């Protein structure tokens, strides 16, 4: 059954993944957050109320994220931490080493979510990486597993591999660039049909659309900022937005999305079903 989108959200709202574990609905991203600054800003996010940190081996800041988790005074089980197999480490051995490295870097007892960062590398590499993730999940080291930047053809390939190989694992989460100018309705529909939780990266389009008239008018209507409008849109589409900021006031602003609601007309004003305008890379279209 597809995940139900709640009618009311707060910062503690969670979705239940196919793994049975829960994922907090608002994530704090740390791509391009310098390692030296990462513990301090992540601690600020945790103090603000975020309980979900999205890192990756490629970001080179897993360790300061884990330091923030340890030094936050919060219980480990109340914080959700994600890392990812780097694009160049796919394949069974590469993914196994990646997982080992994440545990070495973080010193954590378990990792909440581990994703394949991108589908680059060919079928054998993608399937091998999945096998390594499924084994780590079975061993209890990683609680939930999934993919990022997979196109529908990659998702079909993985679904077929899971069915035919017996390696196990379900796709608990998928992570994609998603915002009104990149709604990816085909991928989202594929995921929702299978209870795959959809995470939205670049949810505020890295600030590139800040001056769009539709955002200015919705921001004025609700007394909110353009960034808050985009994050609220993401929540109301049923996504888990992962927003990055190293600026304390923006970290707080981006969490201020729970006490207002976009109405049907607002959501329609942000509905551009045919738009395809990524602001980051787009591995979903790769065919290797």
Ligand X SMILES: NC(=O)c1ccc[n+]([C@@H]2O[C@H](COP(=O)([O-])OP(=O)(O)OC[C@H]3O[C@@H](n4cnc5c(N)ncnc54)[C@H](OP(=O)(O)O)[C@@H]3O)[C@@H](O)[C@H]2O)c1
Interface pick for ligand X out of 81, 92, 103, 201 (rule CB under 6 A): 201
Beta bridge pairs of residue 276: none
Question: Per-residue x/- mask for ligand X, residues 83 to 122, rule CB under 6 A?
Answer: ----------------------------------x-----
Residues in Cβ contact with 114 at an 8 Å cutoff, skipping those fewer than 6 apart: 82, 83, 84, 85, 99, 102, 133, 136, 142, 144, 145, 146
15, 59, 114, 201: the catalytic one is 59
| 64 is a contact residue toward ligand X (CB under 6 A) | no
| 246 is a contact residue toward ligand X (CB under 6 A) | yes
Q: How far is the CB of 33 from ligand X (least distance, A)?
A: 7
Contact 270, 239 (CB under 8 A): no
Q: Which is nearer to ligand X, 168 or 279 (CB)?
A: 279
Answer yes or no: 31 catalytic: no
Interface pick for ligand X out of 205, 235, 240, 270 (rule CB under 6 A): 205
| 242 is a contact residue toward ligand X (CB under 6 A) | yes
3-62 positions binding ligand X, by CB under 6 A: 29-31, 54
| 254 is a contact residue toward ligand X (CB under 6 A) | yes
């Amino acid at each position: 059954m597809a995940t139900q989108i709640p009618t009311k959200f707060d910062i503690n709202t969670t979705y239940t993944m196919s793994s049975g574990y829960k994922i907090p609905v608002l994530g704090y991203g740390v791509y391009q957050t310098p390692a030296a600054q990462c513990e301090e800003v992540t601690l600020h996010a945790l103090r603000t109320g975020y309980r979900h940190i999205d890192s990756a081996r490629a970001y080179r800041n897993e360790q300061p994220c884990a330091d923030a988790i340890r030094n936050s005074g919060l219980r480990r089980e109340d914080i959700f931490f994600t890392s990812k197999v780097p694009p160049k480490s796919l394949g069974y051995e590469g993914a196994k080493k990646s997982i080992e490295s994440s545990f070495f870097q973080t010193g954590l007892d378990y990792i909440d979510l581990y994703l394949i960062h991108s589908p680059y590398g060919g079928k054998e590499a993608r399937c091998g990486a999945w096998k390594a993730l499924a084994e780590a999940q079975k061993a209890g080291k990683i609680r939930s597993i999934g993919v990022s930047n997979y196109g529908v053809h990659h998702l079909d390939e993985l679904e077929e591999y899971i069915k035919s190989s017996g390696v196990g694992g379900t796709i608990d989460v998928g992570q994609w660039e998603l915002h009104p100018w990149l709604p990816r309705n085909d991928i989202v529909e594929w995921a929702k049909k299978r209870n795959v939780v959809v995470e939205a990266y670049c949810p505020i389009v890295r600030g590139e659309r800040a001056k769009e008239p539709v955002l200015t008018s919705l921001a004025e209507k609700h007394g909110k900022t353009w960034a808050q409008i985009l994050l609220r849109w993401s929540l109301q589409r049923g996504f888990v937005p992962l927003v990055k900021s190293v600026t304390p006031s923006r970290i707080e602003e981006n969490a201020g999305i729970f006490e207002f609601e976009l109405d049907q007309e607002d959501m329609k004003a942000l509905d551009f079903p045919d738009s395809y305008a990524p602001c980051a890379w787009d591995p979903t279209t790769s065919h290797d």
